[in-house]
Chain A
Amino acid sequence: MRIQSLSEADVYEALITNADGLQDEEAARRIDEFGPNEIRGVRRKPLLFRFLSHFTHFLAVLLWIAAGLSFLSEYMHPGEGMLTLGFAIIAVILINASFTFFQEYRTERALEELKKLLPFVVTVLRSGKERGVHACEVVPGDILVLSEGDKIAADARLVWCAGLKVNHAPLTGESEPVSRNAEPCDADLLESGNIVFAGTMVMSGSGRAVVFATGMMTEFGRIAHLTSAVETGLSPLQKEIVRATRIIATVALAVGLSFFSIGFFAGRSFWDNFLFAIGITVALIPEGMLPTMTLALAMGSQRMAKRKALIKTLTSVETLGAVTVICTDKTGTLTRNEMAVKQVWYGGKIVGAHEVAKEEAEELLMAASLCNNARYVERRYRGDPTDRALLSFARGVLGEVSEDRIQEIPFDAERKRMTTVHRRRTDITGPSGRVFAYAKGAPESIVPLCTKVLFEANVLALTDEMKTRITGAAHSLMDGGLRVLAFAYRDLGISYHEGSVESDTVLAGLIGLEDPPRDEVPEAIEKCRNAGIRVIMITGDASRTAVAIAREIGLVRAEPMVIEGHAFNRMGDEELKEKLTAREVIFARMTPKHKMRVVSLLKDEGEIVAVTGDGVNDAPALKKADIGISMGTTGTDVAREASDMVLLDDNFATIVSAIEEGRTVFENIKKFLTYIFASNIPEAVPYVAYILFGIPLPLTILQILAVDLGTDMIPALALGAEKPMSDVMKRPPRRVEERLLGAPLLTRSYLFLGPIEAVACMCGFFYVLRGGGWTWGETLAPHDTLYMTATTACLTGIIVTQTGNVFACRSDRASVLDTGLFRNRLIFWGIAVELALQFFIVYHPVGNKIFGTAPLGLNVWLFLIPFAVVLVLSDEARKMIVRRRAPGQS
């Protein structure tokens, strides 16, 4: 039983209803069975639970334990500052959880926008009487009474209709109304002319239809289900953060436990060991990493907004940089969506639009003018871009034409043509009154309707030879990147009968329309090519037109793999995956419903996919893609809400700019991670020295937190705002295996930069101690001024060397001088804030009290500053060696 193929009586039987509709009690019972007719999202983990999950991962659990032990320590040994430490650790957990949640958070409003497309009240037939009911009360078996302007509440099979036309835009993206009938047919449900769908609208006529699907079971519900259920999964950056966090937590725990054991066997007290274990763990965890990363992404999204790309989820900023494939629409994104007639074929010749002779091409021009839904109002053409272009062209040559339209068979994506019937008041010979049918559409749809052709002012039989010539002409126009429409007419005489209008017609000619590419697109495509990003065009145009445009903008150079919609439907997944491996792929004659499959298959193959879309039915593909990109100017609200990025100018070049920014963000994150991780070593070494050599603890835990969550953050953010390197779009996309925390980064931070800083801070510590008369083995009380001054010197050693480190971290191989010293002014602001904070910690009584510090003399600063210079120069030497070993590499 296929609902579209049943007779009216069988429809009633299949849906257990009758021509009078359901009775109220039966309808109520069916609501109980099938549920209300409403769109609802799939169940998700509540927001609160999602937030709380950030408090329960491995690192967080580790920190909770540390905080708990600190409180226990405070309870057993009050007054040693462990209470403050416990609260500080909890603050770290809270800060990290909040920032991670903020990164991931986005409001899910696509479903709300979808709901707006459904009506609130509809008219149904119940017990033989028409009545208005709430749309949510419609059930399978109900009979919808449809009239002009009605929004349709459910999927239903028409049993009667008169001149019914509906707008299927939410389902197909086609804005032209499609006509409906009540006759049984064997087509697929979506292509059946006797079905009306929820979410669509009656444009004209009336009808009655039996509901067979409601709520989430409708086609509209299917889109809603996919939009709500499909999840992209973790972004590449989120995966890297999880991975990095696990590595850091494991290392911190392992080091903490190891040294705890060493201290235990060395005979230190439990509490000494415990203090040490907590200290080293806190030192090795970069507490400021997640806040800095979130802020850097937020700054990246602001920079993108300036380039007309509005980012909705913070991590998408980096995902853009990892994109390997862009699936893009053609019209409006690659092209301007400004149609204009460029070339015309009639009478056996192709001529330019400005060379068309009125007398020779009158029937063609009449067809272009009359079989057209655009209007010229208040000196402006209004309507669909194609119709506007045709009307403007015809009106320019023929002048104003106005004839009574007495019938219309609207454009239909499946039929690929529209036909109108007119009673002409005049024709070329004078007063007429005759009825003419005009048809326009894809050549493969129009030519088979024709038996004759207008050729050199004569009407000739349409022979096979002539068909070959016409096909050749159409191909010639398409190869010039033009969208080709064929036009035909039929003189129906004085009397005319419906049904005979689309046969035995005369082919009047072909018109080639140009939708010029956007000026910036060829350069953007070239950038993508250099950056190793594949661009796949998905268009509803014919394949020849698509290929010609693709050649014009540089998208294809060799023979591309062209896949047309009908072949696409027949192909299995494996076959399609095989075809998708081609370097240059174009999808032609496609509809938006195909997009999600393309995206899914590409993702299956490990690609990071960006896809553009503007229609309601693009929403699932936008959600499925790693980056869904919607159109800010022409897109629907549903598409905008389902996407990760909105193009404010609908321009493909903006996507490429955003990718450039995204790649830079990843590079910048690595830069500031190098910076942050380098300071972990001078934070950890004092604890190792403390436990191994029995010296006073050179750095307190709160001083570590002052670095990680205070002084380091603004310079790190400044590194996050570095401008793109000149070669950023000349490298291939980063490999999936490329780690954020890779061996080169960790080696540079932990084994090169970090140790230099450690030497600085320990030298500072001992410089003050020795200057104050301290002797080896002597213990100092926590509030001893000498001890506090020495720890302050140790902390200042880290801060001073970190100022040099900012410059070093701007590039992992380019010299400081080559990176443009003043190219990123935020660096200087970052250093200024860092030093201001340090002055507050060192010289302000409040800072002294919180962090257990004491003012330093100028001699200490002068002693420490050379270490920053040494760090920069050492890294310059390292960079020089790296450049010599691998010249030309980034």
Chain B
Amino acid sequence: MYRRIVAAVNEYTNSEVAARYALALARACRAPLTLFFVAEAGMKAEAFRRAEAALGRLFREAERQEIDVESITERGEPFAKIRDAIERNRADILFASTRREDLEKRFFQRTLAKALILNLPCSVALVRVVHMGRVSPKNILVPLRGRMVTIKEPSCFVAKLAEAFDAKITLFHLAEPIAGYFHGAAHLAALRRESGVPKDIESFAECLRRFDVTHEKKIRYGDIAREITIEAAHKRNDLIVMGASERSLVRSIMGGNPVETVLRETPCNLIVFKPWLIADRW
């Protein structure tokens, strides 16, 4: 389970909203929470004041929820300072909000988000806030790949989030259609689709069952990103939790990057989650 959680806060509203997910997870895991603000060189006083105010509001909220919370403000280069804080505090997971550059730069190249996901010695939950009125998710959409590098941590992360918000989970898998060159894509009846649920997703569901989290499984075919956003919009999901992209730059250029597309077109708040594979706590 998560033993220490860090939430990166800055002067932007969405970082404050994103940190509220960290609060909820800290409450569910009974883990200490560090609210961490790094003031970059040349930051304007007004921006500094806003970030401090956000820290204050979050701190008070955490205290109200009886979370063991600390608030730290440092000056310097954000990535280096965050990494130091993670290592110093032996934190298990960092919550950070996306920035405009994450949406503008193709495939997250040379963005802070990419640096955090690739280089921090902990799990990372990158939060894109698009809806301020649905920060308490009641139904969470979790798109899953057929084969996952690790199952335990992502499933526990999702289960704890669901527990924190008393939310229902929909496990959503986009399968390759069964198609022949001459016959085209075959239509599969529900039973055959259901029997095609990959083993990793069954394991994921099993883990949710252990946490007693209400969930259902869905299999669809089609364009991955498009189907995810359609499902979320259709079913009025409050939150999408999906794994960070494992596609290389070349593969992203050739075949697109679903995480990037969902990040741009998400109809609800989104957490892009990167588990820390070396951890032994699971």
Residues of A within 8 A of B (CB): 1-3, 13-16, 25, 29-30, 32-34, 42-43, 140-141, 155, 157, 189, 212-213, 216-217, 221-222, 225-226, 229-231, 233, 239, 242-243, 246-247, 250, 572-574, 577, 596-597, 600, 604-606, 620, 736
Contacts and interface: CB of A to CB of B under 8 A. Distances in A.
Contact of A13 (B13, B57, B133, B183): B57
Given A42-B265, A242-B184, A574-B190, A229 B233 contact: yes
B234 A596 contact: yes
B254 interface: no
A606 B181 CA distance: 20
Residue with the greatest number of chain A CB neighbours at <10 A, chosen from B13, B135, B190, B265 = B13
Contacts of B14: 33-34
A226 B184 contact: no
Nearest to B223: A231
Contacts of A600: 234
Given A212-B133, A229-B229, A620 B190 contact: no
Given A2-B136, A222-B236, A239 B184 contact: yes
Given A15-B132, A32-B100, A596-B234, 6 more contacts: A3-B134, A13-B57, A43-B264, A157-B133, A242-B184, A620-B234
A33 B12 contact: yes
B189 A605 contact: yes
Nearest to B138: A2
B195 to A, nearest CB: 14
Contact of B218 (A2, A34, A230, A573): A573
B12 A213 contact: no
A573 B229 CA distance: 18
A246 B182 contact: yes
A222 B133 contact: no
A43 B264 CA distance: 10
Contacts of A597: 234
Contact of A14 (B132, B182, B229, B268): B132
Contacts of B261: 43
Contacts of A157: 133
Nearest to A607: B187
B136 A243 contact: no
Contacts of B216: 572-573
A604 B267 CA distance: 23
B249 interface: no
Interface of B: 12-14, 16, 20, 46, 54, 57, 100, 130-136, 181-184, 187, 189-190, 216, 218, 222, 226, 229-230, 233-234, 236, 261, 264-265, 267-268
B135 A217 contact: no
B189 A43 contact: no
B20 to A, nearest CB: 8
A370 B131 CA distance: 43
B100 A33 contact: yes
A547 B100 CA distance: 54
A212 B264 CA distance: 19
Given A141-B132, A217-B130, A221-B267, A577 B190 contact: yes
B12 A29 contact: yes
* Chain B contact residues, majority secondary structure: mixed
B135 A14 contact: yes
A447 B54 CA distance: 52
| 5 nearest A-B residue pairs (beta carbon) | A212-B133, A3-B133, A140-B132, A1-B136, A217-B131
B233 A226 contact: yes
A222 B226 contact: no
B230 A226 contact: yes
Contact of A212 (B131, B184, B268): B131
* Chain A contact residues, majority secondary structure: helix
B190 A604 contact: yes
B184 A225 contact: no
A212 B189 contact: no
B7 to A, nearest CB: 16
Contacts of A15: 132-133
A30 B13 contact: yes
A16 B19 CA distance: 13
A243 B183 contact: yes
A627 to B, nearest CB: 17
Contacts of B16: 16
B13 A141 contact: yes
A42 B226 contact: yes
A213 B136 CA distance: 14
A13 B53 CA distance: 12
Contact of B230 (A2, A25, A229, A605): A229
Residue with the greatest number of chain B CB neighbours at <10 A, chosen from A3, A30, A229, A246 = A229
B187 A736 contact: yes
Contacts of A574: 190
Contacts of A233: 222
A741 to B, nearest CB: 10
Contacts of B135: 1, 14
A225 B132 contact: no
Contact of B13 (A16, A217, A221, A577): A16
Contacts of A155: 133
A573 B193 CA distance: 14
Contacts of B218: 573
A222 B229 contact: no
A217 B267 contact: yes
A250 B54 CA distance: 65
A775 B268 CA distance: 82
Contacts of A606: 187, 189
B189 to A, nearest CB: 7
Nearest to B194: A574
Contact of A216 (B134, B236, B267): B267
22 contacts: A1-B136, A14-B132, A33-B13, A34-B13, A43-B261, A140-B13, A140-B132, A141-B132, A212-B133, A222-B236, A226-B230, A226-B233, A229-B233, A242-B184, A243-B182, A243-B184, A247-B182, A250-B182, A577-B190, A597-B234, A600-B234, A605-B190
Contacts of A14: 132-133, 135
A231 B132 CA distance: 29
Contact of A230 (B20, B133, B230, B236): B230
A50 to B, nearest CB: 15
A359 to B, nearest CB: 53
A155 B268 CA distance: 14
B75 to A, nearest CB: 21
Nearest to B54: A16
A182 B224 CA distance: 41
A95 to B, nearest CB: 24
A676 B142 CA distance: 51
Contacts of B190: 574, 577, 604-605
Nearest to A225: B233
A34 B166 CA distance: 27
A243 B186 CA distance: 13
B51 to A, nearest CB: 12
Contacts of B133: 3, 14-15, 140, 155, 157, 189, 212-213
Given A14-B132, A33-B12, A246-B182, A225 B100 contact: no
A604 B234 CA distance: 15
A289 B116 CA distance: 56
Contacts of A2: 136
A114 B230 CA distance: 18
Contacts of A246: 181-182
A34 B99 CA distance: 10
A574 B218 CA distance: 10
A229 B226 contact: yes
A155 B222 CA distance: 31
Nearest to B16: A16
Nearest to B98: A33
B184 to A, nearest CB: 5
A574 B234 CA distance: 17
Nearest to A240: B184
Contacts of A25: 46
Nearest to A224: B233
A32 B13 CA distance: 11
Contacts of B264: 43
